[in-house]
Amino acid sequence: MTKKIFGILSILIVVFMVIVFFFPDTNKKKEAEPIPAKTETTSSQTTKKVDKDLPNVSRSDWQLVLVNHDHLIMEEPKTLTTMKNGYQIDQRIYDAYYEMEEAAAKAGFSLTVISSYRSVADQQAVFDADVTKYLTSGLTEKEAETKAEEYVTHPGGSEHHTGLAVDVVDQVWYDQGNGLEEGFFETEAGKWIDQNCAKYGFIIRYPKNKEGLTGINYEPWHLRYVGKESANYMVTHQLVLEEYLDVLKEAGR
Ligand SMILES: [Zn+2]
């Protein structure tokens, strides 16, 4: 009798061990029950990482195209239109620009566009002219090119190729014989542009202290259209386009 019970017990133990050994999943699932709660915490933490204010835009949107020394553009835009001064810009930003110009006029500033769309061939000419200028001042060819690259981008590397960028100053400043100079920021018109351009979808594309990221020196006159939502977000968070696109990428946009 005792032998029989012992035999049955042994069989039960063996069967139990076989179940534990061959079906560890069944076992794991039981142990793993608290995990869904953990997963939820993790996913809500991930959601928290994406700022709720981040505009619902995509990196592939036309107004977010990235053009810099690492992202050359050789394609000419097919959506150009002529501005009131005869210059060309992308027709999709025409109204936004004139809304800004009108608002500036109401504030007492007469904005004037010095440069807008520029073809790759024209950019080559601008670049070459700048190199020549530095060569004349006594620099070697290599030095002259390096110096030119500080302000004038390589052909294909200028945002002006897109028709989404405008160089804007105030007519008074311009009439005084000034052009695209950093001192423009010190003027009341320059300050107005800095504080208001985002309302119309524009950003100062090359801000101060971000030269390392943009590869371009501070240019208070170079405005780039990115759309109102993105412009406001970038200004609030002090992001340049390169940084903003990284934020969008992280958010899976
Ligand atoms: Zn420019």
The predicted structure's pLDDT at residue 40: 43
Residue with tokens 């069944």: 26
**Domain at 62-118+158-250: CATH architecture:** 2-Layer Sandwich (3.30)
pLDDT at 7: 65
pLDDT at 172: 93
The rounded Å distance from CA 176 to ligand 1 centre is: 20
209 dihedral zone (left: phi>0; alpha: psi -120 to 50; beta): left
Low-confidence ranges of the chain (pLDDT < 50): 18-20, 24-46
Q: Provide the 8-state DSSP code for 152.
A: S
190 alpha carbon – ligand 1 mean position (Å) = 15
CB 69 within 8 A of CB 159: no
Position 44 scores a pLDDT of 45
Residues near ion ligand 1 (Cβ under 5 Å): 167, 222
| Ligand 1 centroid to residue 74 C-alpha, Å | 17
What are the pLDDT digits (tens) for 142-190?
Answer: 999 999 888 777 889 989 999 999 999 999 999 999 988 889 999 999 9
Q: Which residue in the list 33, 145, 186, 219 is annotated as catalytic? A: 219
Ligand 1 centroid vs 194 CA: distance in angstroms? 15
Q: Which two tokens stand for residue 23?
A: 């079906």
* pLDDT at position 163: 97
Ligand 1 centroid–CA 32 distance in Å is 58
pLDDT of residue 30: 41
Judge whether 206 and 217 are in contact, CB under 8 Å.
yes
Domain extents in the chain: 2-49, 62-118+158-250
Burial 110-143 (b: 16+ CB within 10 A, else e): ebbbebbbbebeebeebbeebbeebbeeebeeee
Q: Could you confirm whether 219 is annotated as catalytic? A: yes
Helix, strand, coil fractions of the chain, as percent rounded to 5: 55, 10, 30
> What global pTM score does this model have?
0.75
